[in-house]
Amino acid sequence: MTAALEADGLGLRYGRSWALADCTLEIPAGRVVGLVGANGAGKTTLLSLASGQLTPSAGSISVLGGRPGSGRVQLAKVGFVAQGTPTYAGLSVRDHLRLGAKLNPAWDDALAQARIRRLGLDPRRRARQLSGGQRAQLALTLGLAKRPELLLLDEPVAALDPVARREFFGSLMEAMAENDLTVMLSSHLVADLERLCDYLVVLAESRVVLAGSVDELLATHHRLTGARREGSRIPRSHKVICASHTERHSTLIVRAREPLLDPTWTVSRLTLEDLVIAYMVAAPPDRTLLGVAQ
Amino acid sequence: MTWLALRQFRTAAYATTAALAVILALLAATGVGLRDRYSALRPACGSGGPECSVVAQAFFRENRSAWLAAIALVLVVPALVGTFWGAPLVAREVETGTHFVAWNQSTTRRHWLLVKLRVLSLAAMLTAALCTAAVSWWSSPLDEVAIGDFPLMDPLMFAARGVAPVAYALFAFVLGVTVGMLVRRTTAAMAATVALLITAQVLFPVLVRPHLAAPVETTTEISDHRSDGFTVERVGPDSAALLPGSSGAWFLSSTIVDPSGTVVDSIPVSASGPCVSPVNQDRAACFAEMGELGYQFQVRYQPLSHFWPMQARESAVYVGLSLALAGLCLWRVRRNLT
């Protein structure tokens, strides 16, 4: 099975600063991938590179075995709902569907029409008359009815209220159940992704700091709490992601390859949010090492 | 893709069609009356002469504002096309993020832009052609009467007649698209497009147009009776000026030279000769004295016969520039926009 996305040393530079640097990733097909990171961490850049909206200034990226944006065939395989779920304000819902039908060889009109009906969208309404949630649903419909193998969603719910957010994710989950596709969506809220994703990529300061399947990540990361000790020896099999100390206690978040046998530590499970935040706080990676040494 | 290009253009197309319909109806309604008046005026003129000129001038003066407005319309259409169709074409999409919608269907960006350019440049040229043809038809009686003050080859008239306005419209549209792609903000792109178009319309007649065809360079006697349609006027007691008159020519330069060929400002006429009289008395005798002293006009001009060759070449230059800009856009659209 080919990977949905493979990146090797991928980078994009604006002038002298890197929006994304040295990104090496391999995302298996069939996953629902959550892309997390602070604002400006490089989420949009990575998705734009994957959809072919941007061309890299370093390294290489391959999506479903092809170069992103390289031609009609490649474009047909990848759906991309850009940040803010843009739609043509002056065009009606029906016009949007016609646009999709005219421009995509694999367009699934039955799917599009059924979705619009189910969502209760009036086909004659112009996009500017729709609510933010309805516009997002329309953009998602365009992305789904194109029948892509990989669907990229950039902060699709950022502007939506909690109800619209729930509805959006609900219909996305439904669509994923019905169609065999890989989904990659970004958010700066872990809670958004927790219900949906089985694979996680964390970006911090333009770099990928963590990537892996959610189950595996949760199984290998632990929180260690114990009496305060600085610079104490932790087995080599454990990598300290971040450490915090109060007067009496030390709390470490570690990535472990094998169980920790030291009984002076209390080991507890992490939530996905704890894990993501640990990596976001700890970035960039080289600084983590420094922190441990102190 | 053509469907999308046309669908996005629909509102603008309706508005333009409505405006064009009003303008064409207005020109058609008044144009017929204008022609009737002009043909009634002709027999009254008979063999020409000063009375005829007076009647013709009165006819022109009556319709002068409308005639100038019609010229302004032809000159403004390309600018409108460039500003309102060209500049927002890509800039507005990028501004509202809708280019992401278009670029993520199964169509390449280059194809997307190519179709848009094709559909709208055809519309731009069609609009300009309709306007220019209607205005030229409407204006033709007045153009004939006005030729003394507004020669057809003069920059103002040259740019408002013939096929050049169609080429300007194409250029203005593609220039607008290019600026929009580079600036990526609609309002700024519109302003920059207007500024660039005005600059082009001012600089082109000064820098390029005189060289589109080799100008005629000749010396001609200072005399009242001419076969070339030029007219001679007295400028004070000791000088004269050659004007295009009814020839329709565009004078690039016109000077007086002495017998050795040196350019001079004034002619040393005798203090008691016919040139001393008030300006409109003894014109012929005064010019004869100037001629006898060996002074001549030296003139460089583009004659009326160069109208169509120069129109064709100017249009070719603008079409060439448009193609180059379109090529630049098609190259640019494949690169990172942000």
Nearest CB partner across the interface for A104, out of B100, B105, B335: B105
B8 interface with A at CB cutoff 8 Å? yes
Picking from A91, A105, A264, the residue whose alpha carbon sits closest to that of residue B6 is A91
Which chain B residues are closer than 8 Å to A18 by Cβ? Answer: none
The mean per-residue pLDDT over the stretch A196-217 comes to: 92
Are B98 and A146 an interchain contact pair (Cβ–Cβ within 8 Å)? no
**pLDDT grade for A231, boundaries at 50, 70 and 90:** low
* Distance (Å, whole) CA B52 – CA B46: 8
CB atoms within 10 A of CB A37: 26
- Residue A62 in this model has a pLDDT that exceeds 60: yes
Which chain B residues are closer than 8 Å to A78 by Cβ? Answer: 104
DSSP state of A57: S
Are B11 and A71 an interchain contact pair (Cβ–Cβ within 8 Å)? no
For residue A114, which amino acid is it? Answer: A
**pLDDT grade for A285, boundaries at 50, 70 and 90:** very low
Mind listing the pLDDT tens digit for each residue in B166-203? 999 999 999 999 999 999 999 999 999 999 999 999 99
Question: Mean pLDDT score of chain B, rounded to an integer?
Answer: 92
- What end-to-end distance do the CA atoms of chain A give, in Å? 44
3-state secondary structure of B186: helix
pLDDT at B48: 58
Which chain A residues are closer than 8 Å to B98 by Cβ? Answer: 86-88
Which chain B residues are closer than 8 Å to A71 by Cβ? Answer: 108
* Distance (Å, whole) CA B105 – CA A79: 8
Please name the residues in contact with A117: beta carbons below 8 A apart, sequence gap of 6 or more: none
DSSP state of A267: E
Q: How far is CA A280 from CA A19, A32, A203, A256, B261, in A?
A: 16, 21, 7, 18, 86
pLDDT at B131: 97
Name the more confident of B110 and A39.
B110
For residue A189, which amino acid is it? Answer: L
- Residue A293 in this model has a pLDDT that exceeds 60: no
Q: What DSSP element (H or E) covers A78?
A: strand A78-81
* Distance (Å, whole) CA A149 – CA A1: 13
Q: How far is CA A238 from CA A34, A225, A254, A255, B294, in A?
A: 25, 14, 6, 6, 109
Are B97 and A83 an interchain contact pair (Cβ–Cβ within 8 Å)? yes
pLDDT at B50: 65
**pLDDT grade for A179, boundaries at 50, 70 and 90:** confident
Name the more confident of A193 and A113.
A113
Mind listing the pLDDT tens digit for each residue in B312-321? 999 999 999 9
**pLDDT grade for B237, boundaries at 50, 70 and 90:** confident
Question: Mean pLDDT score of chain A, rounded to an integer?
Answer: 88
In this structure, are residues B314 and B212 in contact, taking their beta carbons and an 8 Å threshold? yes
Which two structure tokens, joined as six digits, stand for B160?
């408002």
Are B7 and A95 an interchain contact pair (Cβ–Cβ within 8 Å)? yes
Smallest CA–CA distance, residue A289 to chain B, in Å, is 35
* Distance (Å, whole) CA A28 – CA A219: 19
Chain B residue at shortest CA distance from A152:
B104
Which chain A residues are closer than 8 Å to B105 by Cβ? Answer: 75, 99-100, 103-104, 146
In this structure, are residues B203 and B194 in contact, taking their beta carbons and an 8 Å threshold? no
Which two structure tokens, joined as six digits, stand for B171?
């250029």
Which two structure tokens, joined as six digits, stand for B177?
């698209």
Are A142 and B101 an interchain contact pair (Cβ–Cβ within 8 Å)? yes
Q: Which of A16-25, B51-60, B63-72 has the lowest mean pLDDT?
A: B51-60
pLDDT at B83: 97
Mind listing the pLDDT tens digit for each residue in B241-285? 999 988 899 999 999 999 998 999 888 888 888 888 776 677 888
Mind listing the pLDDT tens digit for each residue in B16-51? 999 999 999 999 999 999 999 888 877 766 555 666
* Distance (Å, whole) CA A175 – CA A170: 9
Q: Which of A176-185, A218-227, B96-105 has the highest mean pLDDT?
A: B96-105
* Distance (Å, whole) CA A150 – CA A38: 24
Size of interface A-B (CB pairs under 8 A): 70
pLDDT at A287: 41
